[in-house]
Amino acid sequence: MSRTRLAAIQMTSAGDVGVNLGEARRFLEEAARGGVRLAVLPENFAFMSAEESARGHIAEADGAGPIQDFLARTARDCRLWIVGGTIPLSSDDPDRPYAACCVWDAQGQRVGRYDKIHLFDVRVPDSTEAYRESRRTTAGSEPLVIATPFGRLGVAVCYDLRFPELFRAMLAREVDVITLPAAFTQRTGQAHWHTLLRARAIENLCYMVAAAQTGEHPGGRRTFGHSLVVGPWGEVLAENAGGPGVVAATMDGAYLQRLRDQFPALTHRRLTG
């Protein structure tokens, strides 16, 4: 593994798919001009609506549709690996598509698909906010780790971040960098976003690239932003504490291997069953 530029794209997505794709294209082109090789889009980057049921209206068949075509074309045009946020892909239940995070290589070929496993069915403490993602989304069941030119890449999505066993499952597949498209709420983000991302990086001695939604969306929902690139020692390498944009940092494969060799905590694990 060599040194590789990684980027998280931060957006304030709304209900117009065309506008959102145009914004994503602009940021992905900016990342490519900056020497980035892997760019991560946020959860629901192409569409955020006040009505949960509206996601079903833009759901695509696996492998075909305007959002997937856009990502393949942009990856090829920009010569960029893209982790495509989440896209609603059809399931057996027409009212509950998967929240799918797909990966395209720099030739525009899709090389992986992860369906969000943990769905956000919560009431946010000390607030009026309540969510039941499972009403309109079918959960996935399998982790994803794939080989890339810059190391082994894992994918998780938003609420998955709270479940360390998923990240250990990726570690068992020798993951080096984990990407996390997200749309954390303002309140939960303030409380836990930085802590959880740094913890997942530290305990797995890996890089984390977290691309977030930020600001206010249709229906008054507010998201936390603060897209991050975190190093394997838990260091925040780059952060976007403002509005939409690109944040990037360098993944150093030699440093990662040296750290794992000198601080071999991953080999000291005992309770692995």
Domain-located, residue 8: yes
* Total number of domains in the chain: 1
**Residue 28 located in a structural domain:** yes
Q: How confident is the model at residue 124, as a pLDDT?
A: 87
The pLDDT of residue 224 is 97
**For residues 26 and 77, what is the distance between their CA atoms, to the nearest angstrom?**
12
pTM of the model: 0.97
What is the spatial distance between Cα 156 and Cα 40, in angstroms, rounded to a whole number? Answer: 11
pLDDT value of residue 246: 98
Domain of residue 107, CATH code? 3.60.110.10
pLDDT (0 to 100) of residue 273: 63
**Residues with catalytic function:** 43, 116, 158
Residue 273 inside a domain? The answer is no
Tokens encoding 29 = 């082109």
Range of the domain at 52: 3-268
Please list the pLDDT of the chain residue by residue as tens digits (273 residues): 689 999 999 999 999 999 999 999 999 999 999 999 999 999 999 999 878 778 888 999 999 999 999 999 999 999 999 999 999 999 999 999 999 999 999 999 999 999 999 999 999 888 888 889 999 999 999 999 999 999 999 999 999 999 999 999 999 999 999 999 999 999 999 999 999 999 999 999 999 999 999 999 998 889 999 999 999 999 999 999 999 999 999 999 999 999 999 999 999 999 876
pLDDT value of position 271: 85
Whole-number Å distance between alpha carbons of 130 and 247: 30
